[in-house]
Amino acid sequence: MDLLDNYKKAWGNQVEIPCKFSALEIYKMAHAKSSSIVKWIFIIGILEFVLLNSLYFFMDMEEAYEEYKKMGLENFVFYSQIVVYAILFYFLAQFYLNYNQISTTDSTRQLMKKILKTRKTVRNYVFFNLSYLGLTMIVVTIASININIDQLNNKQILLVVFLMLIATIIILGLFWLFYQLLYGILLRKLNRNYKELAQLETEIS
Amino acid sequence: MPKDLEAEFLSDFEKNQNIAHKICRIYTTDKDAHNDLFQEIAIQLWKNYSKFRGEAKFSTWMYRVALNTAISLYRRSIRTMKTDDFSDVAYKISSTEYDDTEEKQLTALYQAIHQLNDIDKALIFLYLEDKPFSEIAETLGISNVNARVKMNRAKEKLKTILNPKTWIY
């Protein structure tokens, strides 16, 4: 007899666990608020969306538009905003669909895949926003150099470009670090389990 | 949700709650975390109950949802800090003739399972519950071959932890 068979027998003989819950207790529990990681990913995603978009409300758009106009960027701002909003709605739809598809009745691996996909969408959304911010910063730098090109010498132009690059890298880096931390903590266990489950599939194939 | 569906759910879950308790016991080490995970399992089961209705046996379906919750969704909430070890609570064996060998084996078994990773825990749990490989593979979403290989590795790990020398005389 296999060593584990003895243990299996003991397992089969264990009686019902003493802390049984009544139907009423189960009812209360089933109606409580979930604290699953999927819910947290969803909440954080929504918060990111709202926060990043509400930034626009804090800026004086008219004044900014006048500034853009002076630099000859009104077309860039107008068309890029159309593209940005189209992409934004695409993300919003994706975001909802992903979240909606997550179901505990899937197989474990499928479920994990879907959670990781949701997280990827959120991450792509954030990277998209940050790249747009980066792009705007670069375009504005170039445009403002263009206007003042007569008053600036080569050294000063280089300095402006250099400072702008540093600022962009620092901002993007900070955001990256923040997300690594945030989702890293949330998904550490899931990533580990997913790797563990997927590991052999690649070994065999 | 209609009331009769709710009543049906409560009766199904109440009868089968032992499955959830066993899963909670292998995935957590103290009472607070145990109840916390149990609650999350209850939420997930109820959330999906209307979709499940009549598709399979309730218990089969429950294994899947409960394990998924433990492996993929559950995060220990901040309020449940690690307190005293839950395995101190005695789990009795239903033996007509009182013999504490099986009880000791059971305690040792739970302690050994706690040392496995989350996926191995699920595999060993399904093995102990006498589930066929086809069901294990389907629940976890891996191939049959993969399930067999993984199961063998998990069993080997468990055997090493249990260390046969301590009880074979």
Does residue A126 or residue B131 have the better pLDDT?
B131
The answer to whether the CB atoms of B117 and A108 lie below 8 A apart is: no
Q: What is the pLDDT of residue B84?
A: 42
| Interface ipTM | 0.79
In one letter, which amino acid is A130? L
A4: chain B residues, CB-CB within 8 Å: 127, 155, 158-159
**Lowest pLDDT segment from B54-63, B83-92, B96-105, B110-119:** B83-92
Whether the pLDDT of residue B21 is over 50: the answer is yes
Nearest Cα neighbor of B46 from B58, B32, B34 is B58
Residue range(s) of every CATH 1.10.10.10 domain in chain B = 93-166
Choose among A17, A19, A107: nearest Cβ to B140: A107
Quick one: pLDDT band at residue B66, thresholds 50, 70, 90? Answer: very high
Q: How large is the greatest C-alpha to C-alpha distance in chain A, in angstroms?
A: 92
d(CA B140, CA B91): 28
Q: Say yes or no for a CB contact (<8 Å) between A36 and B40.
A: yes
In a 3-state reduction of DSSP, which class is residue A35? Answer: coil
From A69-73, B18-22, B32-36, B92-96, the region with the lowest mean pLDDT: B92-96
Please indicate if any CB of chain B lies within 8 Å of the CB of A22.
yes
Q: Which of A169-173, B67-71, B143-147 has the lowest mean pLDDT?
A: A169-173
- A-chain CB neighbours of B117 within 8 Å are 192-193, 196
Interface-testing mutation among B23, B64, B75, with chain A (most A C-beta atoms within 10 A): B75
Domain ranges of chain A: 37-204
Overall CATH class of domain B93-166? mainly alpha
- pLDDT band per the 50, 70, 90 thresholds, residue A201: low
Does the pLDDT at position B86 exceed 50?
no
User: For residues A137 and A123, what is the distance between their CA atoms, to the nearest angstrom?
Assistant: 21
**B168 pLDDT exceeds 60?**
no
Contact B91, B107 (CB under 8 A): yes
Q: Which tens digits make up the pLDDT trace of A133-190? A: 888 888 888 888 888 888 878 888 888 889 988 988 898 888 888 878 888 888 888 8
> Residue A14, SS3?
strand
Q: Do A35 and B42 touch (CB under 8 A)?
A: no
Query: How confident is the prediction for chain B on average, in pLDDT?
Result: 83
User: Using 50, 70 and 90 to split pLDDT, how confident is the model at B89?
Assistant: very low
pLDDT at A180: 82
CATH 1.10.1740.10-classified regions of chain B:
3-73
Residue B65 is predicted with a pLDDT of 94
H helices within A59-153, ranges in order? 61-70, 74-101, 108-147
pLDDT of residue A3: 82
* A193 lies within 8 A of chain B by CB: yes
Point out which residues pair with A14 in neighbouring strands: B93
Q: Which residue has the higher pLDDT, B76 or A124?
A: A124
pTM for the full predicted model: 0.80
Residues of chain A neighbouring B19 (CB-CB closer than 8 A)? none
Report residue A161 as tokens: 């470009």
Query: Mean pLDDT, chain A, as a whole number?
Result: 83
Q: Tell whether the model's pLDDT for residue A78 goes beyond 90.
A: no
Closest CA to B25 of B40, B41, B38, B8: B38
Residue the block writes with tokens 């004044």:
A63
Q: Give the least confident one: A51-60, A180-189, B14-23.
A: A51-60
Give the residue with greater pLDDT, B158 vs B102. Answer: B158
What number is the average pLDDT over the span A49-54? Answer: 78
- Selected for mutation to probe chain B from A6, A103, A108 (highest B CB count within 10 Å) is A108
Which residue of A10, A104, A110 is in closest CB contact with B106? A10
Enter the CATH code of domain B3-73.
1.10.1740.10
pLDDT band at B1 (very low <50, low <70, confident <90, very high): low
Chain A residue numbers with beta carbons less than 8 Å from the beta carbon of B65 are 104-105
**B116 close to B157: Cβ distance less than 8 angstroms:** yes
Calpha distance A11→A177 (Å, rounded): 46
